[in-house]
Amino acid sequence: MTADGEIDLPSLERLVGRLLEGGVDAIFALGSSGEVAFWDDARREAVLEAVTGTVAGQVPVIAGAIDMQTDRVIQHVRAAERFDLAGYVVTAPFYAITGPEEIEAHFRAVAAATERPVWAYDIPVCVHTKLSPAQPLKLGQDGVITGVKDSSGDDVSFRRLAAANRAAGSPLTLLTGHEVVVDGAYLAGADGSVPGLGNVDPAGYVRMHRAAQAGDWERVRAEQDRLARLFEIVFQPTDKVGPAGGVGAFKTALRELGVFSTNNMATPMTPIEGEAVDRIRAILADVGLLYGAGAGA
């Protein structure tokens, strides 16, 4: 964010450049770490314009189409069709409570509105509904969704989904968003990860992914342990909850790393200040991301 409350596009482009340098296989734009919940339609389009422009086809870009209910999600999808995107990430409906029948109809309606692949985003902390393992699997077998981004924090459910998916011939690609237990998710059968913390250390998550593919589990674990230490940045702002703390810590780290110009947050959130910033710097130094005179001082 710029000082006058607009999206700071140069900072966003530097972030995307850093992800590409880090070696990521794809980019997920307009996710929770992208504060998608706070953006109106125009800002969402501006983000997609900047991200797809910077990526310029080097890797696939997948876009969050996050809104309360089906019709608005489809509006976001339609507005994004003009960009070079490889698919959409869609949550269960929220605000108004829905049951399994409505959730299924929701994903089917969104998928029917686009030729592009649709990913299910399982994020009960935001939508207050947990997808059962059977539900995305059925949608995958029916060709409605292509994969799942699991940010549920329910590793038993994820393991069951991974096993059932494998038994069904792997119709789904499974990604975890679970920053500090990505190693366990790989053992369970994750095909990749989309962690918010990956914005701060994309190269670290890429190294862990390559090590998992190579079966070098000791290296997977060592990288995960380091990234878990890095994740402690989100616990430093003791006076904030939700994205004001978590995404705020990511933004603060990116500012300290010289990627972002500010650590401003979308309204009504306020940026992290004071000693929490010092502690975040110390953690960045400890895990080897921040060097030089001021690091950890």
C-beta closer to its own copies: residue 14 or 136: 136
User: Please, what is the minimum distance in Å from the beta carbon of residue 165 to its own copies?
Assistant: 12
C-beta closer to its own copies: residue 22 or 153: 153
Which positions touch its own copies (CB under 8 A)? 32, 35, 37-40, 43, 66-72, 75, 93-99, 101-106, 109, 125-128, 153-156, 159-160, 163, 178-181, 183-185, 187-188, 215, 217-218, 220-221, 224-225, 228-229, 232, 239-244, 266-270
User: Please, what is the minimum distance in Å from the beta carbon of residue 71 to its own copies?
Assistant: 5
Q: What is the DSSP letter of 92?
A: P
C-beta closer to its own copies: residue 18 or 119: 119
Relative to beta strand 61-64, strand 27-29 is parallel
Residue at token pair 């810590």:
249
Question: Could you tell me the end-to-end alpha-carbon distance of the chain, in angstroms, rounded to an integer?
Answer: 26
User: Please, what is the minimum distance in Å from the beta carbon of residue 55 to its own copies?
Assistant: 25
User: Please, what is the minimum distance in Å from the beta carbon of residue 97 to its own copies?
Assistant: 3
- Tell me the residue ranges of DSSP E strands in 33-82: 61-64
- Residue 198 and residue 224 in contact, taking contact as beta carbons nearer than 8 Å: no
User: Please, what is the minimum distance in Å from the beta carbon of residue 162 to its own copies?
Assistant: 9
C-beta closer to its own copies: residue 223 or 256: 223
Cα distance between residue 205 and residue 147, in whole Å: 20
3-state helix, strand, coil in the chain (%, to 5): 50, 10, 40
C-beta closer to its own copies: residue 206 or 266: 266
Token pair for residue 140?
């995958």
Encoded amino acid at 74, one letter: I
Cα distance between residue 124 and residue 111, in whole Å: 21
User: Among 200, 192, 185, which Cα is nearest to 257's?
Assistant: 200
User: Please, what is the minimum distance in Å from the beta carbon of residue 293 to its own copies?
Assistant: 26
Cα distance between residue 124 and residue 25, in whole Å: 26
C-beta closer to its own copies: residue 55 or 123: 123
C-beta closer to its own copies: residue 56 or 125: 125
91 bridge partner residues: 121
User: Please, what is the minimum distance in Å from the beta carbon of residue 289 to its own copies?
Assistant: 17
